[in-house]
Amino acid sequence: MIVNGYTRTCGLIGNPVEHTMSPAIHNTLAEAMGENLVYLPFHVPRGQVGEAVRGAYALNLLGLNVTVPYKSEVIPFLKETDPLAETIGAVNTLVRTKEGFKGYNTDMPGLYRAMCEDGVGIEGEKILILGAGGVARAVAILAARYGACRIILLNRTPEKARKVADEVNAIAGGEPAEGMALENYQSLPAGERYLAIQATNVGMFPKTDGAVIEDAAFYHKIHTGYDLIFNPAETKFMRLTRENGGRAFGGLKMLLYQGIIAYELWTDHQVSRELAEKAYIEMRKAMHIQ
């Protein structure tokens, strides 16, 4: 691409950002769509996210993605927050407006698009969410919103799982969600089969040899395992799910679609399915996946 005086800049703020796949997504989309736009990673030192947002606005950036640890910390520095992002309590995309940046959450709709494409439904499902961090909370809200009949959060720190379940119940109305200690998976009723969404960091690169639960008896209760980790593309959780008769999916498509939704917000242009596939191939190449 040719960078000139009209080139618009988008990027990622976080810490660390060095292993990001987002430039592969956005620069592929921009090039294919003939958009004069570049996407760059910006490593922001702890405590300086406010300066980063103000600086980015002053430098006329079109938009930013936000990653750990700033997804909640960034909110006070925005002019406006989209209602979905406000409900989730986390922003991963900033869009330039006349007065300042507006914050959105594209992780949750990105996961929803990925699940639809993978043929994984939520309505009427009994869902286990492993973890109770920022993304697990968004997944629990997604599950409630799309009609899961039961949502069980299993977490190493059970108080956090219960807190998230209470918040989800307050948002959804009724009591679809429940929080439990991770080790209590053994108390799940025999004969029930679940969609399990893996939202912990366990099994993530570089410590790829673990899964948050390793007991085969747990995987017998799962008909589908969806790991939100995207590096490695095939996690131990996915392997254990398959070995015990379930379908398994990884987090790479969620990553792709959260990026595509952000790109559509920045440029106001729809990304076609063919182009989404091209960006997916570029991401896989960047990760050295065949």
Rg (Cα) of the chain, in Å, rounded? Answer: 19
User: Should residue 233 be labelled a site residue for ligand NAP when binding is judged by CB under 6 A?
Assistant: no
Q: Which residue in 120, 228, 261, 279 binds ligand NAP (CB under 6 A)?
A: 228
Q: How far apart are CA 273 and CA 269, in angstroms?
A: 13
> Phi first, then psi: what are they for 178, rounded to 5°?
-145, 140
Using CB positions, name the residue nearest to ligand NAP: 133
71 is annotated as an active-site residue: yes
Q: Which residue in 9, 15, 87, 157 binds ligand NAP (CB under 6 A)?
A: 157
Q: Which residue in 134, 176, 179, 246 binds ligand NAP (CB under 6 A)?
A: 134
User: Should residue 230 be labelled a site residue for ligand NAP when binding is judged by CB under 6 A?
Assistant: yes
Q: How far apart are CA 25 and CA 286, in angstroms?
A: 10
Q: How far apart are CA 212 and CA 22, in angstroms?
A: 26
Output the six-digit token pair for 155: 């977490």
Beta carbon of residue 253, minimum distance to ligand NAP (angstroms, whole number): 8
The answer to whether the Cα torsion of 3, 55, 110, 21 is positive or negative is: positive
Beta carbon of residue 2, minimum distance to ligand NAP (angstroms, whole number): 31
Give the 3-state secondary structure of residue 36. coil
Q: How far apart are CA 141 and CA 88, in angstroms?
A: 7
Beta carbon of residue 177, minimum distance to ligand NAP (angstroms, whole number): 15
Please report, as residue ranges, which positions from 137 to 156 form the binding site for ligand NAP (by CB under 6 A). 155-156
User: Should residue 213 be labelled a site residue for ligand NAP when binding is judged by CB under 6 A?
Assistant: no
Q: Which residues contact 119 (CB under 8 A, 6 or more apart)?
A: none
Q: How far apart are CA 97 and CA 283, in angstroms?
A: 29
Beta carbon of residue 246, minimum distance to ligand NAP (angstroms, whole number): 19
- Give the DSSP letter of residue 201: S
Beta carbon of residue 157, minimum distance to ligand NAP (angstroms, whole number): 3
Asked, as a colleague might, if the bond just before 109 is cis with ω within 30 of 0, I would say no
Beta carbon of residue 7, minimum distance to ligand NAP (angstroms, whole number): 27
User: Should residue 107 be labelled a site residue for ligand NAP when binding is judged by CB under 6 A?
Assistant: yes
Catalytic residue among 71, 102, 126, 236: 71
Query: Contact region for ligand NAP (CB under 6 A) — 11-19, 169-177, 188-196, 227-235?
Result: 227-235
Q: How far apart are CA 249 and CA 234, in angstroms?
A: 8
Please report, as residue ranges, which positions from 34 to 63 form the binding site for ligand NAP (by CB under 6 A). none
Q: Which residues contact 130 (CB under 8 A, 6 or more apart)?
A: 136, 154, 155, 182, 196, 197, 198, 199, 200, 212, 213, 237
Nearest to 231 by CA among 206, 194, 267: 206
Q: Which residue, 56 or 136, has its beta carbon nearer to ligand NAP? A: 136
Query: Contact region for ligand NAP (CB under 6 A) — 46-54, 121-129, 253-261, 279-287?
Result: 253-261
Binding site for ligand NAP (CB under 6 A): 68, 107, 131-136, 155-157, 160, 199-202, 204, 212, 228-230, 251, 254-255, 258
The catalytic residues are: 71
